Amino acid sequence: MKEYIVIYEWTGQNYSAYAPDLPGCVAAGDTLQETEQLMKGAIELYIESIKEMKQPVPEPITQARPIMVAA
């Protein structure tokens, strides 16, 4: 099992998501929950495709933490 960071963004109409460690692996949905489910499927397909091409699966190296500032 590997754990990849996924970035979620509200576009004003829906949510989009991407995994920085998996270039081109993206998903979009109407809700955050839907987008998360779609992104999980996208990551699974991405990794399956990489394995079929006999290429190494990228290691998850991105880290994310929130930083609180006065705004």
Ranges of each domain in the chain: 7-52
Instruction: Provide the pLDDT for residue 42.
Output: 98
Instruction: Provide the pLDDT for residue 11.
Output: 95
The phi, psi pair for 46, rounded to 5°, reads: -60, -50
Instruction: Provide the pLDDT for residue 6.
Output: 98
Give the C-alpha distances (Å, rounded to integers) separating 27 from 58, 64, 67, 69.
18, 19, 25, 29
Residue 47: exposure state from Cβ atoms within 10 A (0-12, 13-18, ≥19) = middle
Instruction: Provide the pLDDT for residue 31.
Output: 98
CA distance 11 to 3: 25
Instruction: Provide the pLDDT for residue 64.
Output: 96
Query: Is this structure's pTM higher than 0.95?
Result: no
Cβ neighbour number for residue 42 with a 10 Å cutoff? 21
Mean pLDDT per segment of 10 residues, for the chain of length 71 residues?
Answer: 97 97 98 98 98 97 97 90
Please name the fold of domain 7-52: Double Stranded RNA Binding Domain (3.30.160)
